[in-house]
A and B are shown apart, each in its own frame.
Chain A
Amino acid sequence: GAGVSQSPSNKVTEKGKDVELRCDPISGHTALYWYRQSLGQGLEFLIYFQGNSAPDKSGLPSDRFSAERTGGSVSTLTIQRTQQEDSAVYLCASSRTPLSYEQYFGPGTRLTVT
């Protein structure tokens, strides 16, 4: 079946602009995760959704970052007033349930803030 999809694949934006990144999880997967991978850095957890609620937002780096999920499916990660340090690859993953543990990643969105 189809895997996790993300859009756009690449986004270049000017410092101070807002951006929206989209994730469409594997059909039937109830848990959805956002991670960030910066050059030379490991994968950094941002936020986790179970259904439409986000029980763990502990990884969001600042209040400029927010995310929502609607219909238990598509999720949008929004970064307001982007800064150069936000440049990274933003990865979305999904798993069948939170307790299934196995997470499958989408192709990522490469964000470049100029």
Chain B
Amino acid sequence: QKEVEQNSGPLSVPEGAIASLNCTYSDRGSQSFFWYRQYSGKSPELIMSIYSNGDKEDGRFTAQLNKASQYVSLLIRDSQPSDSATYLCAVNKAGTASKLTFGTGTRLQVTL
């Protein structure tokens, strides 16, 4: 079992729709969760962080965390073609002094 799992996609959504990206993790002691966006040929860009159960909203982005189910998700409302990228889920495992463990990413395609 991978430590952080994501569906590789591509996830295709029409412009204006809600994109839902999911991530599961194996270490129940994980404390911090992040979503990074990575455009092709570029480095990862931090877009959301979440530390406690529930929802966290920032503009068109909402991160959701359910520690009991070991599940974190990212919702993108009113998806735009510029949102087309790979979205990486990253987890800080307990006791590892901020080392992040990444999933392999979900490729999102927003179609016109």
Residues in chain A within 8 A of chain B (CB atoms)? 31, 33, 41-43, 45, 48, 50, 55-56, 59, 89, 91, 95, 98-108
B46 to chain A, nearest CB (A): 6
- The 8 Å CB contact of A101, one of B32, B42, B44, B45, is B32
The answer to whether B97 touches A56, judged by C-beta atoms less than 8 angstroms apart, is: yes
Residues of the B chain whose Cβ atoms lie less than 8 Å from the Cβ of A55: 97
Residues of the B chain whose Cβ atoms lie less than 8 Å from the Cβ of A91: 43-44
CB-CB under 8 A for A45 and B99, given A102-B34, A105-B45 = yes
Residues of the A chain whose Cβ atoms lie less than 8 Å from the Cβ of B34: 101-103
- Interface footprint category on B: 20 to 34
Closest chain A residue to B100, Cβ basis:
A103
Residues of the A chain whose Cβ atoms lie less than 8 Å from the Cβ of B92: 101
Please name 29 pairs of A and B residues whose Cβ atoms are closer than 8 Å in the assembled complex, sorted by A: A31-B98, A33-B98, A41-B104, A42-B102, A42-B104, A43-B44, A43-B100, A45-B99, A48-B97, A48-B98, A48-B99, A55-B97, A56-B96, A56-B97, A56-B99, A89-B43, A98-B97, A99-B98, A101-B32, A101-B92, A101-B98, A102-B34, A102-B46, A103-B46, A103-B100, A105-B36, A105-B43, A105-B46, A106-B43
Residues of the B chain whose Cβ atoms lie less than 8 Å from the Cβ of A98: 97-98
Enumerate the 10 nearest inter-chain pairs by beta-carbon distance, A residue then B residue, closest first: A43-B102, A42-B104, A105-B43, A101-B32, A98-B98, A42-B102, A108-B43, A105-B44, A98-B97, A45-B99
A93 to chain B, nearest CB (A): 8
How distant is the Cα of A101 from the Cα of B96 in the complex, in angstroms?
A: 11
Residues in chain B within 8 A of chain A (CB atoms)? 32, 34, 36, 42-46, 49, 51, 88, 90, 92, 96-105
B95 to chain A, nearest CB (A): 11
Residues of the B chain whose Cβ atoms lie less than 8 Å from the Cβ of A104: 46
Residues of the B chain whose Cβ atoms lie less than 8 Å from the Cβ of A41: 104
Residues of the A chain whose Cβ atoms lie less than 8 Å from the Cβ of B49: 101-102
Residues of the B chain whose Cβ atoms lie less than 8 Å from the Cβ of A101: 32, 34, 49, 51, 92, 98
